[in-house]
A = this chain, B = another copy of it.
Amino acid sequence: MSQHQPTGDGPPAAPSGGAPARGGSHPGPGPAGRGDTAGALPRPTLESVAERAGVSRATASRVVNGGAGVRASLREKVQRAVDELGYVPNLAARTLVTRRNQAVAVVVSEPESRLFSDPFFAKHLRGISRELSAADNQMVLLLIEDQADFERVGRYLGGGHVDGALLFSLHHSDPLPDIARRVGLPFVIGGRPGWPGAESDRELTYVDSDNRGGGRIAVQHLQSLGRTRIATITGPLDQTSSVDRLDGYRDLLPDGDPDLIAEGDFTPDGGGRAMAELLARRPDLDAVFAASDAMASGALRVLREAGRRVPEDVAVVGFDDVEQIAAWTDPPLTTVRQDIEDMGRLMARLLLRRLTGQTDTTGRRGPTSVITPTRLVVRGSA
């Protein structure tokens, strides 16, 4: 698999000298003295804090958790003990009783090809991370690489490690939502779910951008430029985002020639292949709407190789507005912008709202889903 495995593969040679052990993993009841670098000092417990402050464990606990209903003088005492001891709550213990983890899983199931060719992913993550950490929740990232991982992740989600999950890039047959539902884990989906009945499922919460509207905006722009033979490169059609963008295209071109439609896979290479295909089928095309910037960049390259000038001969519009790609192609890409980071934030917010019990006794809950707008960003390619 790996191309080179430099050092550290086999059982490594021991380092020369007998370096002083940093204390193994055994907490060992050694003297509490915090020796210099001596490792694995037994962490102070709430008990020890209480003792030092001369109060009961209960009071110490109250202070640690906000200190409501504790006399100021005591509160201060406990606080001091906490500081001096460097006390940090043991969260496993806390979770055991509160049943809250303050952690949320983010599950991304996307083949390598796209995950790494598209900054999309990172942007989403950033939005989520921001929102989550603002609420003091941790983000646990679960990457799904192959079929086998579904099992592992399913186990994890059911393991009670996290309070909720954010699910991404679902394909039609994705088992994740089912798994999450089965284990009773609240979740929010990124992108409109596409399986039968999903649409009408009031229990489902998702965040999506207005892909269809975005598709329309792209074609509209191309038409306003006077283009009449407008092709499109779609994403993989087992994802709703691809289908929706294509539907937007069709909204404005209801009687379009099917030869003007080619399926890509959201990667530059796939975009290039699709472009070549389109060029072969309809050499007279004068515009292309690619359903992602990555695919557009591939298309641009193929067009250049074919001697077509952009935008003079063929106008190109992308989708995403991923700066890394769109601003650096030649010419820079005119594209449909979706605010990816914002979508991430929204997803997190929706989930958190649910976790913090927006469910009142009447059984009502906040709105389930939200669609974020898209808009055109004009650069040089169309």
Contacts and interface: CB of A to CB of B under 8 A. Distances in A.
Interface string A358-382: 0101111111101111000000000
Interface residues of A, number: 103
A169 interface: no
Contacts of A37: 181, 203
A7 interface: yes
Interface of A: 2-8, 11-15, 17-25, 27, 37, 39-41, 43, 88-93, 95-96, 99, 101, 103, 112, 115-117, 119, 121-123, 125-126, 129-130, 133, 136, 138-143, 145, 149, 152, 155-156, 158-161, 181, 183-184, 202-203, 268, 297, 301, 304, 323-324, 327-328, 330, 339, 341-342, 345-346, 349-350, 355, 357, 359, 361-368, 370-373
A145 B123 CA distance: 13
Contact of A91 (B19, B161, B181): B161
Contact of A39 (B184, B324, B366): B184
A366 B160 contact: no
- Interface residues of A: mostly helix, strand, loop or mixed? loop
Nearest to A345: B2
Contacts of A324: 116-117, 268, 324
Nearest to A133: B152
A92 B88 contact: no
